[in-house]
Structure 1
């Protein structure tokens, strides 16, 4: 009898949530164009892109609020929109806008929201102290949303999204408008949820937020997926490793004047944004040595980051809302 050989086959688990070939049009404008992505159990998938890229429309289709013109959405082994109610029962949602009821206290907001899922009042009340503690709002149980700061409101919205113990959270720009301290506290809470095994779909305009929280990123522009992967892998794939930012008197001439062509040749790529010139290079030391001959200039040498990736893939021009 031949010796036993261990199996090399790995168990393949189905995605928790899957969108295949989604299309959404408004009139002659295609706002989501043949979009495909999966969300695996326990991961945070970040969706980034400029204004008008299709992020919010994608979220609305995932929630069954907007019907796609083509494509398929499956979640937890169910199909949207056929099984919309059963899917929504396993989702938690934090939208861009504040949807808290101003007439109810923090505790009452959680109670009323839980009743929408058909949960028993006694079961919700038993969970409220835990949810408020998670949101660092135990001392505000009887306060109404109008008495809360912006960060407190966002944390209450997050606690409310957890009232049904969802398997997947959908967060549409959850920290917009928050000060740095409030954002960091929100990030800590989201990290804790990921450690507990929750999955998250996150849209954000903050590249540091995406790099900190997301295990994988989806970059959208004009409704299409233009890149997908782990943040550091995407940076390595699309960018030179070092960036030298130059600003101050005479900086813009470095990007255009013929006299500075030898300096530009020390970088793989040169870009201008406002009053700053960005040199992207794999060898920063020769460039920094050359720049030191112009002491009136100010320089910042740093590794390439997610914001550089975003700007390279989607451009530096301003996109207006709408």
Structure 2
């Protein structure tokens, strides 16, 4: 993606609102087809590029603009690369790295995911405490939903808040952003529940979720090196009343299509990865990564593999496919 002046046709690779030469508006250009004009194989590691060999491609898009891209795959000069919708499989995990701005990266992530099939009356629940996630990412998510047909009155943000203090803090965060201040904040601890049997388990589900057409989880990346990890699975299990451990077991046994959870979209904010050891010492890594997918177990499996932490035994049979504009580069983000 780059930005082009509507008048003088000057271009920029970083976000800009108006042309610095003629002060006219600029438009986003999203190329989808690239031709490899040259390539260089790098054999010597450097800072942030420890894994070698890799190749740097010089690309020309369908508009004649040139780009560079790092890759671990083998290509030849003259070959064509296409960036199209990546989420062909329910197990696909889309990854993207922030280059210049969160806005630009989020736009690329949603574009690669493909259409969400949202209607005016679609009920959407966003699972986020608002306090442990960046409000800017939440704003971009809501803005994307509205641009795709959702209505403000049909979007709620919720979590099982521990106490009134947490709710007050969340309300303050939402009130600080005009777009978020219009949304309803829900405490799932106070919501009425309905018991639904599925297979051999009983699920106490907040009625608000039963009536939702889409459930979006917004989860910051926090993993542990000394314990089994199931990031989004645990996040979902926390919505249901009762013991989180037993809920996790039941959630993990759900097939992709099930009558318990609405259609899912899982967004992981991994810009700063928090990884703690057995002494609860946190190690943070700035990866500048965002991940998006539809299958929460595939997402959990992917995070454990990429960040080299133990996965929960419940994820043993889960599979994932990593995709995105730079999916072959994101082999070992930390």
Normalization by structure 1: what TM-score? 0.28
Higher relative contact order (CA 8 A, sep 6+): 1
- The structure whose residues are more often helix, as a share, is 1
| Higher-Rg member (1/2) | 1
Normalization by structure 2: what TM-score? 0.27
